[in-house]
């Protein structure tokens, strides 16, 4: 089961850059997209409904903003289009597919980088989401929550960590929140479990030749329940082509929903 995740930074822009031409080459069973930046009615073109996939889109009330999507080769038993936090649900930040006892979700956690009002929104979401994760970790299902969490967990997860300790995305309280997700809730950062190397980034600023110099951040995750994480192997951050300011990344799981 190959799970691919990408913050598309505009799904129509990613399409123009060749994302949907490239996607069949990868053989992903599930594709998790974030920041689609499109209303559902703007995605009627067949390119946005790739052959062989069951597709679910969730958009934001605000045009051209946020939005998430999930594609699956297996028909889901159910599609969940909200997480239950109204502020986030109005912004189109969560979609989930259920397959037997497995749930796969695409999540776009708020960014606080554009100002104090957005950081406050991010904090409200974090306050909601930690107990939400605790409930899911104990519900008997296997969970995989993929996407842009807009937090670099540890110093290894961004190039210039010393100078970013007062910036949204690497604030001490945000990193402590991620500590709780991993250490207290018991969920697994699957990529980091499999790949302990430094300089493995998924996002690069468009300023200052960040991409060319690999001055990046790892803010995109696959967070799993331990049972599912134990089956994971072969993580890949794909950088041969650029469809977004984020890189697509995927992980294979030796798991089927019937398990």
Please indicate, yes or no, if residue 258 is contained in any of the structural domains.
no
Going by pLDDT thresholds of 50, 70 and 90, the confidence category of residue 258 is: low
- Its pTM stands at 0.97
Is the CB of residue 80 less than 8 Å from the CB of residue 43? no
Give the torsion sign (CA, 186, 188, 189, 193). positive
Provide the token pair at 224.
């799993």
Q: Which of 45, 51, 116, 148 is catalytic?
A: 148
More reliable by pLDDT, 112 or 14: 14
Dist CA 58 CA 91 (whole Å): 9
Q: What are the pLDDT digits (tens) for 194-223?
A: 999 999 999 999 998 999 999 999 999 999
User: CATH number of the domain that 169 lies in?
Assistant: 3.60.10.10
What is the full DSSP assignment across the chain?
Answer: -EEEEEE-SSHHHHHHTTHHHHHHHH--SEEEEE---S-GGGG-SGGGS-TT-EEEEE--SSTTS--EEEEESSPPSEEE---S-HHHHHTT-EEEEEETTEEEEEEEPPP-TT-HHHHHHHHHHHHHHHHHHHHHHTSSSEEEEEEE-----SGGGBTT-GGGTTSTTS-HHHHHHHHIIIIIS--EEHHHHH---S---SEE-SSTTHHHHT-EE--EEEEE-HHHHTTEEEEEE--SS-SSSB--EEEEE---TT-
Q: Give the CA distances from residue 166 to residues 93, 116, 163, 203, 249, in Å, rounded to whole numbers and listed in that order.
A: 25, 13, 8, 19, 28
> 60-113, pLDDT tens digit by residue?
999 999 999 999 999 999 999 999 999 999 999 999 999 999 999 999 999 988
Domain count, the chain: 1
pLDDT tens digit sequence for 174-189: 999 999 999 999 999 9
At 249 the pLDDT is 98
Q: Is 179 a catalytic residue?
A: no
| Residue 259 included in any domain | no
Q: List, edge to edge, every strand of the sheet that includes 220-224.
A: 78-80, 94-99, 102-108, 142-148, 220-224, 188-189
What does the mean pLDDT of the chain come to? 97
- Predicted confidence at residue 21, as pLDDT, reads 98
Structural domain span for residue 71:
2-253
Please report whether residue 217 resides in a domain: yes
Query: How is residue 138 written in tokens?
Result: 């104990």
């Amino acid at each position: 089961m190959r799970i691919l995740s990408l913050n598309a930074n505009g799904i129509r822009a990613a399409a123009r850059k060749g994302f949907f031409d490239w996607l069949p080459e990868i053989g992903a069973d599930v594709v998790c997209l974030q920041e689609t930046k499109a209303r559902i009615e703007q995605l009627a073109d067949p390119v946005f409904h790739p052959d062989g996939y069951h597709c679910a889109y969730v958009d934001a009330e605000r045009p051209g903003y946020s939005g998430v999507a999930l594609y699956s080769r297996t028909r889901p038993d159910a599609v969940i289009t909200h997480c239950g936090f109204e502020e986030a649900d109005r912004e189109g930040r969560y979609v989930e597919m259920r397959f037997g006892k497995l749930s796969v979700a695409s999540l776009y956690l708020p960014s606080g980088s554009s100002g104090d009002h957005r950081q406050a929104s991010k904090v409200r979401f974090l306050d909601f989401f930690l107990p939400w994760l605790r409930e899911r970790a104990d519900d008997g299902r296997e969970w995989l929550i993929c996407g842009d969490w807009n937090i670099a967990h540890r110093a290894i997860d961004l190039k210039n960590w010393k100078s970013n300790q007062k910036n949204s995305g690497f604030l001490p309280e945000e990193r402590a929140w991620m500590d709780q997700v991993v250490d207290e809730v018991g969920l697994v950062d699957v990529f980091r479990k499999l790949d302990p190397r430094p300089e493995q980034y998924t996002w690069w600023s468009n300023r200052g030749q960040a991409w060319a110099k690999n001055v990046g951040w790892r803010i995109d995750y696959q967070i799993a329940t331990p049972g599912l994480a134990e089956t994971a192997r072969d993580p890949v951050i794909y950088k041969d082509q650029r469809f977004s300011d984020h890189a697509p990344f995927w992980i294979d799981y030796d798991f089927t929903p019937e398990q």
